[in-house]
Amino acid sequence: MGDRSNSIRVKVSRGDDRGRHFDEFDVPALESQTVLDVVTWIQRNADPSLSYRFACRVGMCGSCAMTVNGKPRWTCRTHVSKVLQGDTLTIEPLRNLPVVKDLATDMSEFFDKWTSAESRFVPTKTREDAIEIVQPATKERIEADAAIECINCGVCYASCDAVELNPDYLGPAALNRAWTLQNDVRDGGKNSRLRAVTGEGGCQNCHSQQGCVQHCPNTLNPTRSIAGLKRLATRAVFKREL
């Protein structure tokens, strides 16, 4: 299929957790081509039964993450030219999550852990109250702002050994989100959330390997956020609140 020099050899993981194998495809090489473009080309032109997930194609929605040549990446903003090894591309589903089919993972546990970490805003005001002014230059707001741009793509979750080896561990994304809320002056759920993120699968299970930092497509730093939670937890243990 096509001239080798103008095509990419693509190995795509097929099947689900009951059995997986690789299918190989030759895909025409184009300028400024992304990995998601390659997957889409295969599904439209070579094998319509290929399953994968995407939505926005511009790095906003966090649904197209896959393992590309062994590393977790957002495929819509990963250029083929940046990751090609020789003329070969190996595309697999994200690690640490059950595979629904081919390149689509079941992200239920990833989002369930967000809920377990109480990573949702707890309002403290009613519509009768004046809008609270959040000062951008405060220490808390700077910490929150540094961690807020998460798109829930699951790349950090897939790169983490603690997640892989400890099924209870809440993971970098959920804990990172919890940290932003612990620094939100408007939030009213801090005590309960601190207990949630220091429970069985809590922040203390992080080994600071920083794979999450290495791979986060939005260049966030979950290790830094988790270290912040560890400080809050240590303080609470000292005060006998935990």
Partner 1 sequence: MRAKPHRNHPLWYAYVVHRISGLSLAAFIPLHLYVLGLALERRGELDQLLVWTEIPVVKAAEFGLVFLLAVHLFGGLRLMALEMFQWRDNQKTFAAAAASAAFLLASLFLLRSF
Partner 2 sequence: MLSIRLYFLQRLSALIMAPLVILHLGVMIYAIQGGLSSEEILGRTQGSLFWAVVYGLFVASVSVHGAIGLRSIAYEWGRIRGFSLSLLSWGFCLLTFFLGGRAVYAVVFA
Point out which span in 14-22, 50-58, 119-127, 226-234 binds partner 1 (CB under 8 A). Answer: 226-234
Task: Please state the φ and ψ torsions of residue 101, each to the nearest 5 degrees.
Answer: -165, 135
Contact partner, 200, from partner 2, partner 1, none, Cβ < 5-8 Å per class: partner 2
Binding to partner 1 by residue 227, rule CB under 8 A? yes
Give the containing element (helix H, strand E) for 20.
Answer: strand 19-28
Nearer to partner 1, 70 or 98 (CB): 70
From residue 128 to residue 167, what is the string marking binding to partner 1 with x (rule CB under 8 A)?
Answer: ------------------------------xx-x------
Binding to partner 2 by residue 242, rule CB under 8 A? yes
Among 198, 216, 217, 228, binds partner 2 (CB under 8 A): 198
Give the containing element (helix H, strand E) for 26.
Answer: strand 19-28
List helix spans (H) across the chain: 35-41, 80-83, 108-116, 139-147, 155-159, 161-165, 172-182, 190-196, 211-215, 222-238
Binding to partner 1 by residue 88, rule CB under 8 A? no
Binding to partner 2 by residue 200, rule CB under 8 A? yes
How far is the C-alpha of 8 from the C-alpha of 31, rounded, in Å?
12
Cβ atoms of residues 75 and 35 within 8 Å: yes
